[in-house]
Each structure stands twice: as C-alpha cells, then as structure tokens.
Amino acid sequence: MKVDAIIVGQGLAGSLMAWQLLRGNLRVLVVDRDEAVTSSKVAAGLLTPLAGSRFNLSDEAMERLNYALNFYWELENDHGGQIFHHQKIARLFRNQKESQAWEDRLNKNPERFEEFHAPLGVLHDSIEATEGGFEMKRGGWLDVPQFLEMTRQHLLERISYAIGDVSAEEVSITDSGVKWKNIEASKIIFCEGWMGNQNRFFDWITMHPALGEILDLKIPALEEETRIINRGGWMIPKGDGVFRAGSTYQHDFDRIEPSSEGEAEAMQKIQSITSAPIEIIGRRAAVRPIIKRSQVFMGTHPEYSNVAFLNGLGSKGVMNGPWYASRLAQHLFTNAPLPPEADIRSNQI
C-alpha cells in the first residue's frame, strides 16, 4: 500500500494534520492506538482570543484566530453537526493589576479591541467579580471528542484510518520516503502528544509534560448561566446547571488518573469564582504535551527530511492548531517555509 503520508496519532494535532493533507488531495493513513483516555479527549477545547493576564492580541494571533474559526465552520458546513460552540466568556479580573492591564489596553488602542469585548452584564450573586471584568467575544469551545470522531469517521470512509502502535524502530528510511510494515509513504508525521520524544527520531527534544485534571460539576444556582466564566480557573456551561471546570498543571506525576490533590486544586480555583453549592459529578485526567515556553514545535528531522513532527499545541491548540498544521502541510509538500518560531531545526529545544 502506498500513501503520501502516514500520520502517527489521531489526537488534536494528528486530526488537524489529516484534514490539511486531505484538503490538498493527498492520500493519508492515520494510525492511532485508540486509547480511551488521551489529553485531546479530556481537553476543555477552550478558545480565548485575548490571552493571559495582559490580554495580548498580536497580528499573528488575529490571523490564527480567523483561520481557526473559518476552519471549524467549513468542517461543520461540509460534514454536518456542530463541533465549535461560539460562546461569550465572562472574563473576571482576579486583581487590580489585571483590571489596570485591561484598561491600559483599551486606552492605548480601543479600535483594535472593539470587536472582542462588551460590558460584563448581570452575574449571579454567588459569582466573584469584585474587581470587575468584561465579556470576551469571538471565543468559545471546541467539542474535541466530537471533532476527533468526525475526523475518524471521515478517515474510515476513505480507508485512511488504522488502529495500531507505530514504533519508530519499525520505520525504515527509503530512497522515496519511508516504510512502515507494508505501507510505503513519502512522509511520516509523528503527532504523539506527551510521548512525542520517546522515539528514535525525536528523542533529543525536551518535553515537560503536565498532568491536568478537569471536573464535571453540578451547580443548580447557576443553571441560567450561558457564558463561559474565567477567573484563573474556568467553567464551561453544559446546560441544566452542569459545568466542565478546571484545570490543573502537575509536572511531577507517576499515575495518569484523577487524584484527591488534583481535585482539591481544581476546586480551589472554582471556589474563587463562585460561592454557590457545588456537587462533583465527574473527574478526568490526562497528560498535556508541553515543550519549551508552551510553544508549538514542528518540522522535519535534521537528517531525514521525510520524517516530520507536530507537537506542543497545548492549551491554545484549538486556536493555533489549524494554522500551524496548514503551514506544516505546505512545508512538507510544497517546500514553503515554516514559521521560524516553531521550526524544530532553528530552535534549541
């Protein structure tokens, strides 16, 4: 069997990569271990245009945001079903420093931020908003499991999906590309998440994986709330007073499962948002792939140009991932340059 590309892993990165290659009429084979719990399947899928406590909005962020929103809209339009949920975000300031940072942004360049904010509006009495805040527009959340399933079904229809475990030791370099078992390909792209440096091609990349825990909560007092609420922690309304909430970052871990410590840390964040009675109805945990400065890194192996890497999408993956995957696809098959900040060949990792 011959394909243009083998993609190893069907998490967020691998799925985005698959769509970009399929859009270029290339034949792909996505090989995935089909694990029940992965970081992509657990991820909240948040998309927040104004990032961090300084509310940055660079020209690059604007380009990636617009690209991502168009990408998800086109998938929904072409394949049916909703995967991206446009929701306003009640961005509550944690302290006076954040409040001042936002005021400075608006005073310096009000036109740039005009389309991204609105007055905060009415909040439930139990919501902590003593420092104020605003409603962030053009945000929302991607139903990542639904997106992954949409991708898998599309790949199955094209006979482009296989359950399996690709060991780098089984991948051989050929004159025309690579070979794995009986599959010949022009390229192989490793999108393996937090285990991305555990193969012979990319074991030189330093990764700092972090265990993250997310809670499912029942908060009857907030059943009318339809906005995502963000104040250090975040709460995504699912309807009928149910919220998905979190999250935690634990770099030192020996088990990939929810813990009492993780639950306590996540609850501390949620209780800084609301004093309403909370019932925990679910817990989940997975490991995030984090590389240097939580930066996306991608590109080809320094010696083997047919062996590629896409990883480190992290918490901004829903917004940044589609754009980066498109750039890697163009680089691999049209020799277009990679964004310098993401190219593994030009960065010391």
Q: Closest Cα to residue 65, out of 44, 41, 86?
A: 86
Q: Which residue has the tokens 């079903």?
A: 81
Going by C-alpha positions, the residue among 19, 63, 75, 11 that lies closest to residue 326 is: 19
Contact 271, 232 (CB under 8 A): no
Neighbour-count burial of 96, counting CB atoms closer than 10 A to its CB (0-12 exposed, 13-18 middle, 19+ buried)? exposed
pLDDT in tens, the chain (349 residues): 999 999 999 999 999 999 999 999 999 999 999 988 788 888 889 999 998 888 988 889 999 999 999 999 999 999 988 999 999 999 999 999 999 999 999 999 999 999 999 999 999 999 999 999 999 999 999 999 999 999 999 999 999 999 999 999 999 999 999 999 999 999 999 999 999 999 999 999 998 888 999 999 999 999 999 999 999 999 999 999 999 998 888 888 888 899 999 999 999 999 999 999 999 999 999 888 888 777 899 999 999 999 999 999 888 899 999 999 999 999 999 999 999 999 998 876 6
Distance CA 297, CA 193 (A): 12
**Token reading at 301:** 């192996």
| 46 burial level (CB within 10 Å; 0-12, 13-18, 19+) | buried
- Longest Cα–Cα distance of the chain, Å, equals 67
Q: What pLDDT does residue 252 have?
A: 87
Alpha helices of 6-95 — where are they, by DSSP H? Answer: 12-23, 39-42, 59-79
The SS3 call for residue 238 is: strand
- Token code pair at residue 139: 């945000």
Element containing residue 86 per DSSP (H, E): strand 84-86
Query: What residue ranges define each of the domains in the chain, with the CATH number in brackets?
Result: 2-43+144-205+292-334 (3.50.50.60), 86-139+210-288 (3.30.9.10)
Q: Are 343 and 336 within 8 A, CB to CB?
A: no
What residues contact residue 330 under an 8 Å CB cut-off, 6+ apart?
Answer: 336
Both tokens of 6, joined, read: 């083998």
Measured distance CA(243)–CA(222) in Å, rounded: 9
